[in-house]
Structure 1
Amino acid sequence: MSEARKSKGRSRSGGADGADRESPEALRHRRFAAWHGAERILSRGGHGQTIRERLAELTAHAPDSCDLDDWTDTYGNGVVAELERRVAELLGTEAAAFFPTGTMAQQVALRCWAGRTGDPTVAIHPRAHPEVWERSALEVVSGLRTVHPTSEPRLPTAEEVRDLGEPFGMLMLELPLREAGFVLPSWEELTETVDAARERDAVVHFDGARLWECAPHFGRPLQELAELADSVYVSFYKSLGGLSGAALAGPHALVDESRAWRHRYGGQVFQQWPAVLAALTGLDRELPRLPEYVAHAEVVAKALGDALTATGLTWHRVHPDPPHTHQFQVWLPYPAEALNEAGLRQAEETRTALFRVWRGSEAPGVSMTEVTVTSEGLDWTASDVAEAVRGFMDRVGIQD
């Protein structure tokens, strides 16, 4: 980023507490430019890349995962069918269906299960994705209703599932539970919760948008994890670096029915090969590396906690500690605007991007950000993290 652009960003923000004076579009461009220009970053992902770069990346890697001389897909055949076959094989399920979004995949899955069980009630955590991010789509679009076994910031226990005071046809478990800090239960806790749902004649569906990176925590292969559920949804962009898209995996009968509902929901897309090629390259390139990312996230999280303590900060939180996946939360006692401005200035001035976007919480003056460690973060040492934390906190303007 040019010095003129950096100066412009600072003058428009009016200081660390005035970043919201920039228009949303100007702030978006400023963020992407800062992340794009960063030489040190924990995870680059699909954010902060130009269209040209994303196209070049796809062109460079796709030949290793797919025969580019094959014909393009039409309404779900060809390369789409190959991706579905790969997913079913990886998860050990009878079949899988590609969906343009995970929101659609999960609505369809739960709607299909409701028809089979005769019960439209879904037991789900109040912080799960459908409850927080989907505009009440389960109720408004699919005619389902939700009940909550627990509101604690963790997955429900077997006891809570058994004691839920009304019938339910489906138990949906988000693995990991993102809004609670990408948290996971132990393997024993998970199997007991699944067993408790089965005791109540409920089917079990895994929201596995980030299931790919859960295997190291459980110490079990993906197939053994997916085998616990009656159906599983997985995402191709959250952990695998794809462009978009998801898959619903499960028994043939369910997947076949889901294709019919996918069509009704508007998901029968004419051609999907760009998203599918990116998904295939993600399976080949990123999936094998996820255990490495998970392991290094522990190093980064510990270094972050130690470095924040060393600044003399009276309160902070790294959660969970240690992380359960390659993603975790950091909490600080400052407004989100100040923290976002500090992070942007650090990236613009030093080409080191430690944190991305902070958001406020129910507690006034307390904010949270999510940290992701991928290939770009593997060479960060504890001392690198400590140096970046000092630079970040200097720009927050801490005054103890």
Structure 2
Amino acid sequence: MTDTAEHDDQVTDEDRGARLRERRLAAHRAARRVFARFGFHRTLRERLAVLAEAEGVHDLDELSDVYGDGVVEVLETKVAGLLGTEAAVFFPTGTMAQQVALRCWAGRTGNPAVALHALSHPEVHERNAFSEVAGLRPVRLTGEPRLPTAAEVRDFGEPFGALMLELPLRDAGFVLPTWEELTEVVEAARERDAVVHFDGARLWESTVHFGRPLEEIAGLADSVYVSFYKSLEAFGGAALAGPKELVEEARAWRHRYGGMVFQQFPTALSALVGLERQLPRLPEYVAHARVVAAALREGFAAAGVPWARVHPEVPHTHDFQVWLPYEPEVLAEVAVRTAEETGVVLFGGAWDRGGPGLALTEVHVRADGLEWTAEDVKAAVAEFTARLPEQVR
């Protein structure tokens, strides 16, 4: 065995994954064409430049915030106005915001059970925080890749104090129900005397699919959480919006959870910039995501890929999934190599296993994606599929 071969044998899967991530980020930063350039891919200097964009969005000559006053209060008022709620409170993370909201509701209903989807964020990405930290008891309504139905809510076999709906449901493909389905689900929860909380991390971009303004959508729920960084490109942060009494109690719990941060002006300013600059553009991104999705389907069909899926077929938001019949490791390497060789990033995210011989990735369309025509997408698909292993294709 050569020294090189021996060294290769000692490289772990974690090492290979780290190297691939480094290559993917480098290729993305160097690319001439991408669907989205996210803030967290930028340098510190580039991120700091966002604060300069706040000139004209907020008075930069006022004193900076201390423990949630000043610019943070301005942001809270702005969010409450957009969502049509009595009040809103800033949180450093959405995980904290939702734990606080639902434990407050549990105190009011006397029932710590929270009905939710098996693919919802607290169940998949928060290390059982609801039960381990907040004293809540999650109960799963369904694991199907769609939102729960009114029948599933109405006929669930045990009582629950709150229904949490993630809109859109990210791990199911950024899917949303129809407006009629959503109103029926909310009504079913009300029939059971349960409160309704929206995990609206990405609620901002749901208006196109529902055909309703934000305040009408948020108005269905008793409380709503929204994120500032997922679509608005802020540095981080979240808000919990709802009745004034709930919001005031949430402030007390935010303090207890360690979320009363001394100064938050960089995040708050970046959120105000996002609300001013990004929020009005989201419908445009959603519309173009549907052009991209259709071109991807046509491109893979023309390339002769034996099985390929865009999910949802017509995206509900500006994010969606692509499924292909290959191992994730194969697709991850081909995606990076294609980006390195062509300067065009078709798939800039990680690939996850979706089943035996299947892998999926997420496609995110933002401002840079608007520059792609359908023909550009099909050409990029041809470049990508040409690099797939012949014996697999």
What is the TM-score normalised by the length of structure 2? 0.95
Q: Which residue of 2 aligns with 1:258?
A: 250
Instruction: Supply the distance in 1 between the matched residues of 2:106 and 2:265 (Cα, whole angstroms).
Output: 32
- In structure 1, the partner of 2:121 is 129
Q: Give the deviation of 1:23 after TM superposition.
A: 4.8
Aligned partner of 1:375 in structure 2 is 367
Aligned to 1:58: 51
Task: Give, in angstroms, the shift of residue 103 of structure 1.
Answer: 0.3
Amino acid at match of 2:23: R
- Whether the 8 Å CA contact 1:33–1:48 is kept in 2: the answer is no
Q: Tell me, yes or no, if structure 1 residue 229 matches structure 2 residue 202.
A: no
| 1:188 and 2:180 correspond | yes
**Who is 1:4 aligned against?**
none
Q: Give the Cα–Cα distance (whole angstroms) in 2 for the partners of residues 306 and 398 of structure 1.
A: 20
Choose the corresponding residue for 1:350, options 342, 345, 351: 342
C-alpha distance after superposition, 1:45-79 (max 9, x if no partner)? 124311111112332x1112111111111000000
Structure 2 contact 327–353 (Cα < 8 Å) conserved:
no
CA RMSD of aligned residues (A): 1.8
Contact 2:349 2:363 in 1 (8 A): no
Alpha-carbon distance in 2 for matches of 1:50, 1:121: 43
Cα gap change, 1:299 to 1:310, in 2 (>3 Å): same
Which of 14, 37, 40 is equivalent to 1:44?
Answer: 37
Deviations 1:305-355 (CA, angstroms, capped at 9, x unpaired): 110111111111100010000010000111111111111112222111111
In the alignment, is residue 175 of structure 1 matched against residue 143 of structure 2? Answer: no
The one-letter amino acid of 1:30's match is: R
Tell me which residue corresponds to 2:209: 217
User: Would the alpha carbon gap of residues 114 and 294 (structure 1) be closer, same or farther in structure 2, given more than 3 Å must change?
Assistant: same
Q: 1:275 aligned to 2:267?
A: yes
Count of aligned pairs: 386
* Structure 1 unaligned blocks of 5 or more: 1-10
Closer/same/farther in 2, CA of residues 142 and 194 from structure 1, 3 Å limit: same
**CA–CA distance in structure 2, aligned partners of residues 48 and 394 of structure 1:** 28
From 19, 23, 27, the equivalent of 1:30 is 23
Please report how far the alpha carbon of residue 160 of structure 1 lies from its aligned counterpart in structure 2 after TM superposition.
0.9
Deviation at residue 25 of structure 1 after TM alignment: 4.3
* Distance across 1 between alignment mates of 2:127 and 2:165: 19
CA contact (8 A) 1:46 1:241 kept: yes
Identical-pair percentage: 63
Pairing partner for 2:305 from 297, 310, 313: 313
Correspondence for 1:3:
none
1:81 is matched with which residue? 73
Per-residue deviation, residues 176-229 of structure 1 (Å, max 9, x unmatched): 001110000000000000000000000000000000000110000000000000
- Could you list the runs of 5+ residues in structure 2 that have no partner in the other structure? none
Q: Which residue is equivalent to 2:319?
A: 327
Tell whether 2:290 aligns with 1:298: yes
Amino acid at match of 1:175: L
Q: Tell me the alpha carbon deviations over residues 126-176 of structure 1, each in whole angstroms, 9 at most, x when there is no partner.
A: 000000000000000011111122221111111111100000000000000
Equivalent of 1:240, from 232, 238, 245?
Answer: 232
Change (3 A) 1:352 1:165: same
| Distance in 2 separating the partners of 1:229 and 1:82 | 23
Instruction: Name the counterpart of 1:7.
Output: none
Contact 1:32–1:47 (8 Å) recurs in 2: no
Contact preservation (8 Å) 1:293, 1:374: yes
Aligned mates of 1:150, 1:174 — CA distance in 2: 13
Provide the secondary structure at the position in 2 that maps to 1:397.
coil
How far apart in 2 are the matches of 1:398 and 1:301? 25
Q: So what's the TM-score if we normalise by structure 1?
A: 0.93
User: Which residue in 1 is equivalent to 2:189?
Assistant: 197
Shift of 1:366: 1.1
Give the deviation of 1:24 after TM superposition: 4.8
Give 1:365's aligned residue. Answer: 357
| SS of residue paired to 1:206 | strand
Match of 1:91 among 83, 91, 99: 83
CA 1:322–1:398: 2 relative to 1, 3 Å = farther
- Aligned partners of 1:175 and 1:299: how far apart in 2? 22
